[in-house]
Amino acid sequence: MAGVIIMPQKTELGWVMEIPAEMAAILKVEPGSIAVIHPKEGALETQILPAPSAELKEDFERLFNKYRETCEELKRIGD
């Protein structure tokens, strides 16, 4: 099996990753959907969130750029 291993990012919600297109097709979810994975009683639970809309992505970019310096400073001091 050739390919790239997608590593989930750890967050306060659990581990988050974008669902690969091939897996999204098998699951019958929209490409770009997000999987949130968290441990529970010796197992892993998964929630699938819909892909962010173009409007949400644009809003994020606009706000991130507006507050870029603040975000960088928070990251520097450890939130």
Strand 43-49 to 14-18 pairing: unpaired
The predicted model scores a pTM of: 0.63
Strand intervals (E) in 1-79? 9-11, 14-18, 34-40, 43-49
Phi first, then psi: what are they for 19, rounded to 5°?
-75, 125
Per-residue pLDDT of the chain (79 residues; tens, 9 = 90+): 456 677 888 988 789 999 999 999 999 999 989 999 998 899 999 999 998 899 998 998 999 889 888 888 888 887 5
Q: Comparing C-alpha atoms, which of 49, 4, 55, 53 is closest to residue 24?
A: 49
